[in-house]
Each structure stands twice: as structure tokens, then as C-alpha cells.
Structure 1
């Protein structure tokens, strides 16, 4: 990472930045800048079109003028409001052993599903599948190019779920020390995205990782096992030194995830959907 990329975000004061809005605008999406952002607890949300950029300017220009939201350096012809950097407070996080599969899915993984998983085998395909049809279209070509560069350097990762030779689910994210920030996921079979998250979590834990960052607090990520962490504590996790080894990418059966994450029913609990 270049010194200039590291200095890019020095003017972002997360102690003052809103927890429910952008912390900064502008700065560009070079791969080293993107990695520097994740290491500081920020992730990008490019505007999908001119209307979205104009909305950002109208909605947040007063906060920028007041210094609550940083305006990052860029070339004069840039539209800084076309790129927002977020750092939500609180932050939804999942421990690597805390991904919830549910007893029914765990049983299917152990007994019937003929799926298998891999990591970093089809990063481009996962990226494109996550971008396909999404509204707003935040996974722009520029952002995808930067993410591909980070994958090539070992900083961004994907997990893939396969049924035979068909890619049926996946997830990707960017690593920052012992934290892996999950950007997006997709599925072409029910529960395939959930299995991808569990698989990536298991591989990241085996490499020395400690925490998955789910970025946005939603019912979906809560169902996956996310709990809320104050931003200050999340930033402390990012700053904690860690030795994370390269992610193992070999093909593995999904049955192992069903064994590792089987959740026994509580006594006396009525039977029903997991």
C-alpha cells in the first residue's frame, strides 16, 4: 500500500462522523486506496448514476461544510459525491464460529446435499453474479477492477458453492488484519449464500482470522448470526495485530459444515422450522 493511499483517509474523523450516513466522499477507487479504507473501518458505496450523486450532494453538503463528513482529495474534474465511504455505528459482526445455519440446513448438509465449496477459485464470477441485477448498482466496473486487483494480491477473497460444475452461490469480501469485511453474496439455490458465508468463515478462522464484518445491520445478517459492535470497538479489532495466513482454497465437501455447525434443539422446545 502506498504512503499516499495511507494518508488519503487521515482527515476522516470517525469520532465525529455519523454512524448512519457517509463518513467521507471522494478519493477514487485505486486498489491501494480501497485497501487503506478497509483497514480504517471504511467501505465504498459508489453512486450508480448522476441522480444518486446529486442526491448525495444535496443531502450531505451541509455536513461536509461543517466538517462532520470529510471531503477527500481528488482531481478537479472529479465529482466527489459520486463515491461515498461508510463506517456504520454500530457495526454488525459475526465470529467465525458464529454463522448460523439452523438445524434443518445442517442436517441437509450432513446427509443429502451434493454440494462442494472452494475459495478464490472463481472470484470474478462471484463478483459478477453479485453485481447482476442489483439496484442500486453500487458494484461499478471501477470498483470491480479494484477488487480483482486485491484478490490477485491476496487481500480480497471469495467462497464458492458448487452443485457439480454449476456455481450456485458465493460471497466475497476484503481482509484487513484479523477482520474480513463481507461485501456481497448471491445464491441460485436456497441457502447457497448462507453456506458460502459459513465456508468462508471456516477457512478464515483456520487461517487465523477472528471476525467477519457484515457491514450493514439487516434482518438477513442478524439471521446469519451477526451481533452489533460499537464502532470504537470494531476499530480496535482492526488495529489489533494479527498474523493471518493465506486462505486455503481447496475443494471441500459441505458435509463438514453441517457437522461443525449442528445446533442441538433445546429440551422442551416445540418442533418446527429451524
Structure 2
């Protein structure tokens, strides 16, 4: 049974957690994404205590679902409203970066070639540290199931940028990205988007709105409309994982 099927998003907050619960196994994470939710684990005991103190009244009032677990406030589950989304072919690189890709940068891209390393790089130095060891284990399990993917940007044999996300139906939800060279994360997003579009994907979910995702081409979609997109039939082909020149994206 889907543990999130009972979370009523019609009346759930759009700017806060919609549920709490501690389990983070691969199947549970995927079930959440299929219902339009994603996890934000607490970084430490202080953060868990804060979640309980801050949201206990809303949980008791039935405004936020409590899904149980050994430490039920350890993981917040979010479903922002509205949702920032990008059509797979709509990632914007900008004229300057496009020219650099075509004329000067010798970058290459791949998919699923270094999933674990991309996760590790995305976790480095991030505060709060939401990419916990348990969440990384769950995402690694999803990758083994073919439901989580990464795109990598290479300068020679050096990994200089990357992004990873989870596929739920026809939607690819972008979780995090990193760069070791200016614009490398942007190129990774464009690369993964192009591969997902070629595989039959319909939509990229950027999760958190903000200037950066707006600059990539994200637009706001009401949560109800996002859930309709998520529930649309999916006829996805395997993702192309070949090593390709980044210049093709320019």
C-alpha cells in the first residue's frame, strides 16, 4: 500500500511540509514522488526537535499528516504549491554559454556514469545537510531500480558538474546539482533534460522556486495541474547514457 495515498494535498500547505515520517527506503521514496511529494530529512537531533515544536499543533489539527516511524519528525515531506517546472526541451543556457560550448569548451557529458559521486558532490558543504546517509542509501537504491538518474559534465577525465533526479511517471524531479566550473551545473541540467525528452519524458520538476531555476526556464504550475501531469500515462524508453559532446547543447 502507498503510505502517501492518504495525504490530502487539496488542503495541504503549499509553503511548508505536508507530512512527517521517518522511513526513507527506496520504494517509499518513489511512492512519495509518484504522489507529488519529496523528502527533506532533518540534519540532526536539534532539527528533529524543531520540527516537532514548530509543527506539532498543525499535525494535531490534521493540517499536516503524520506517517509514523521510529522518529516521526525526522523527515519532512514537501509538495510546494505552485511548483516550478521546465518542459524537457525548454532549459535555457543563455547565448554566452551556448557560444562557449560551441566554440571553446571541450566538455563531455554522460548519464548514470557516476551517480554515487554526483550524490557525494551535491552533499558536500550543504547546510542544512538534507542529503543524509539514509537518504543517499535510498536514492542509491532507486538508481539500482532505474528510477533515479544522474548527468555528469566532464573536462577531460575530471568531473566538473552534475545533477541527479528521480523519475515518477512522465516527470523527472531534479533534486540537486553541483559545479566545479562556472555553468557546469547548468549544462548538466540541459543534458539530462535532453536525454529525458528523447526518452519520452514530459516535464522536469525543479521542486524549489527561485532565481536560479527561473533562469533555467522554470515557470510556476499550480500543484493541482502538476499532479495531473504526474498522473499522465508514461511511455518512457531507456535513458541514453552514452558519452556525448556538450557542444551539441549549444
Render the CA deviation track for 1:88-124: whole Å, top value 9, x for unaligned: 0000000111111000100111111000000000000
Deviating runs (4+, > 4 A) in structure 1? none
Supply the distance in 2 between the matched residues of 1:161 and 1:255 (Cα, whole angstroms): 11
What is the number of equivalent residue pairs in this alignment?
250
Q: What residue is the counterpart of 1:128 in the other structure? A: 120
Residue from 10, 15, 28 that aligns with 1:20:
15
Q: What is the CA-CA distance between 1:244 and the residue it aligns to?
A: 0.8
Q: Which residues in structure 2 correspond to 1:212-223 (within 5 Å)?
A: 212-223=204-215
Residue 26 of structure 2 is aligned to residue 34 of structure 1: no
Residue in structure 1 matched with residue 176 of structure 2 by the alignment: 184
Counterpart Cα distance in 2 of 1:11 and 1:243: 27
Cross-structure match for 1:88: 80
Secondary structure, counterpart of 1:81 in structure 2: coil
Once the two structures are superposed, residues 48-82 of structure 1 have per-residue CA deviations (whole angstroms, 9 ceiling, x without a partner) of: 011111111111111101111000032xxx12111
TM-score, normalised on structure 2? 0.99
Counterparts of 1:11 and 1:47, CA distance in 2:
23
Q: Tell me which residue corresponds to 1:48.
A: 43
Kindly name which structure, 1 or 2, has the bigger radius of gyration based on alpha carbons.
Answer: 1
Q: C-alpha separation between the residues in 1 aligned to 2:107 and 2:44? A: 38
Match of 2:163 in 1: 171
What is the Cα deviation at residue 47 of structure 1?
A: 0.2
User: Which residue of 2 is the match for residue 267 of structure 1?
Assistant: none
**TM-score, L = length of structure 1:** 0.90
* Structure 1 residue 10 displacement after superposition: 2.2
Structure 2 unaligned blocks of 5 or more: none
1:140-190 residue CA offsets vs partner (Å, 9 max, x unmatched) = 000000101111110000000000000000000000011000000000000
Paired residues of 2:93 and 2:187 also in contact (CA < 8 A): yes
Secondary structure at 2:50 match in 1: helix
Query: Which deviates more from structure 2 when the two are superposed, residues 195-204 or residues 92-101?
Result: 92-101
Root-mean-square deviation over aligned CA pairs: 0.7
Partner of 1:266: none
